[in-house]
Structure 1
Amino acid sequence: MDYFRNIGLIGRLGSKGVVDTLKQLIRFLNDQGLHAVLDERIAELMPGHGQQVCKQKMMGEICDLVIVVGGDGSLLGAARSLAQSHVPVLGVNRGNLGFLTDIAPAEIEQKVAEVLEGKYTVESRFLIDVLVKRNGEPIGEITALNDCVLHPGKAARMIEFELYIEGQFVYTQRSDGLIVSTPTGSTAYALSGGGPIMHPKLDALVLVPMFPHTLSSRPIVVDGNSELKLVISERNETYPTVSCDGQNSVTCAPGDTITIHKKPHKLKLLHPLNYDFYQTCREKLGWGAKLGD
């Protein structure tokens, strides 16, 4: 256990189950002689915890490992905060689906102990940066691990926009919007929009139109290093929104441009040794089990 000495703990707010699991983790880590560091927001819900506290963004600077307790949404937020620091992240599922947070609360001590002993696999998941410009000037910059979504916001009206990939014009589309998803996000919103499931190791992006005006508009898979540009048509009467991971957003205006490209820093995601992406798909998506099982 020489490598992981300082363990950051992040938890989803508003859940007693998360707080109970964090208390269990603190006791376990202290018994192992390790140093727990609590995210300041969850620490406020645990008076008398006696542990070091810091801002989530600082955890990458002082921790060797960060454990996120919650659902995939909690891990998405942590990923955006921590990717630049390269600190490895481990997820404990206290949410619903749990494609990213794959340790169950019942096996937390066993699985965390195995990880601390070096028994784990490492995945690199890339993120995307989204830049919105108005009259050539930046008005907003946000990051996503799952997806970037152009949508009408509160107004249920179609959006007209142009799509460029690597500077090449692709099409003008009228639709409810567009989902640009990483492989990580392909099992999230893009899946419900009719997009393909992409293996996490793929270096690719998928573009999924949302209720397009033409039935010939279909998802497109492009190289992960592609630069994408969306140009909001001047003819739009509405002000659409661009959202990242469903958590951060920027309101756009007719004529704005949205540029999307891969972030240089990747998320270092740890899994227990028995992690199996296809098994996770079977469990979470209800795929058929092996005959005879």
Structure 2
Amino acid sequence: MNQDAAKQTDSAHAQCDAPEVSAPFKHIGVITKPEAESVRETLLVLFDYLAQRDANVLVEECIPRSINSRFASASREEISRQCDLAIVVGGDGTILSAVRAMAGANVPLMGINVGRLGFLADISPDEMQQSLDEMLAGNFRQEQRFLLECEVMRDNQCIFHCDAFNDVVVHIRDVARMIEFETRINNTFVNHQRADGIVVSTPTGSTAYALSAGGPILHATLSAITLVPISPHTLSSRPIVVNADSQIDILICNTKEGVAQVTGDGHLSHDVHVGDHIKIRRKSPCITLLHPQQHNYFEILRAKLHWSEHS
């Protein structure tokens, strides 16, 4: 990576232990959504481009031979072991899934956005070849972002574990009922509250469910975690932001005859009972996202949230 690119590292880097990324990339993996046919045209153009590069390419096994006829297929686990770069074709949901699968592998990801403008996948298909020329030559911005890891403890036994790139949510599963829970941070009592639930969010997830619940937007590279109550019973229950090294413990106190649930990134779920402890902390190491040099986080916020628009 050249000196200009080296300067374009956006992160709370001292708090992350992901290695610095440098080009050239000799082993490139391609990951996409399960419905690969929906991104066929983008994949075909990408494969034509990669065929001209001096690199070994592994393609996710969900991509059919009608689209990929030249590269070896592999699972995400194999891509995480063998590649030094993963190109993700899809939207933010595809990147969320890829990040969880690649967590701990120290493989940087770049996202080619197919669909609506994304917070994570920020290379458009129209600009793909030019962006890849620059980025594969080492001209990119890199961001270190962290995941959360969650454990549900029952009778001192871990009964559920998940990783989340956006958020961990505690809520009632099937009906509109409140839940009572107690929150401790670093073994220090914070509060006992009644609410529809609580969102524990990374900075990446602060523009997702946490934002809808009234939480603040955190810059994506901050070393912080947000706790946002969902429709709390008292107006004095407000979101709080804590250091990302904090250990968060949520004790389920009462579910009002409903079934409470903990969910990671809206996909991985498990029922929780009264007396269960939900322990949440930052996962190590961080994940590295690569962006074009002109990447502008606030420009994406303006576009996604319709800031500065005039009627």
Q: TM-score normalised to the size of structure 1? A: 0.94
User: 1:98-128 CA deviation, whole Å, 9 max, x = no partner?
Assistant: 1000001111111111111101011000111
Amino acid at match of 2:163: T
1:209/1:283 CA distance change after superposition, 3 Å: same
Equivalent pair of 1:152/1:176 in contact (CA under 8 Å): yes
Partner of 2:261: 241
Please list every run of 5 or more consecutive structure 2 residues that lacks an aligned counterpart in the other structure: 2-22
Amino acid at match of 1:231: L
Equivalent pair of 2:122/2:291 in contact (CA under 8 Å): yes
Q: Please state how far the C-alpha of 1:264 moved relative to its aligned partner.
A: 1.1
Equivalent pair of 2:40/2:67 in contact (CA under 8 Å): no
Partner of 2:44: 23
2:118 counterpart of 1:89? no
Q: Secondary structure at the match of 1:148?
A: strand
Q: Secondary structure at the match of 1:151?
A: strand
Q: Distance in 2 between matches of 1:169 and 1:5?
A: 50
Please list every run of 5 or more consecutive structure 1 residues that lacks an aligned counterpart in the other structure: none
1:156/1:72 CA distance change after superposition, 3 Å: same
Pairing partner for 2:285 from 250, 265, 283: 265
Partner of 2:98: 78
The farther-off stretch of 227-236 and 92-101 is: 227-236
Partner of 2:294: 274
Runs (4+) of structure 1 moved beyond 3 Å?
44-48
Pairing partner for 1:37 from 45, 53, 58: 58
Equivalent pair of 1:19/1:46 in contact (CA under 8 Å): no
1:47/1:72 CA distance change after superposition, 3 Å: closer
1:217/1:97 CA distance change after superposition, 3 Å: farther
Q: Secondary structure at the match of 2:285?
A: strand
Q: Distance in 2 between matches of 1:135 and 1:6?
A: 45
1:242/1:116 CA distance change after superposition, 3 Å: same
- The percent identity for this pair of structures is 42
Q: Distance in 1 between matches of 2:183 and 2:64?
A: 45
Partner of 2:19: none
Question: What RMSD over aligned residues (CA atoms) do the two structures have, in Å?
Answer: 1.7
User: 1:37-89 CA deviation, whole Å, 9 max, x = no partner?
Assistant: 11112x23746623111111221211111011111111011111112011110
Partner of 1:172: 192
Amino acid at match of 2:245: N
1:105/1:256 CA distance change after superposition, 3 Å: same
Amino acid at match of 2:301: C
Q: Where do residues 46-65 of structure 1 align in structure 2 (5 Å cutoff)?
A: 46=66, 49-65=69-85
Amino acid at match of 1:109: Q
Partner of 1:8: 29
Q: Distance in 2 between matches of 1:239 and 1:257?
A: 15
Q: Secondary structure at the match of 1:216?
A: coil
Q: TM-score normalised to the size of structure 2? A: 0.89
Pairing partner for 1:135 from 125, 145, 155: 155
Q: Distance in 2 between matches of 1:44 and 1:236?
A: 48
Partner of 2:15: none
Amino acid at match of 2:289: L
User: 1:133-173 CA deviation, whole Å, 9 max, x = no partner?
Assistant: 11111110000111111111112211111100110111111
Q: Distance in 2 between matches of 1:57 and 1:251?
A: 28
The farther-off stretch of 241-250 and 121-130 is: 241-250
1:235/1:90 CA distance change after superposition, 3 Å: closer
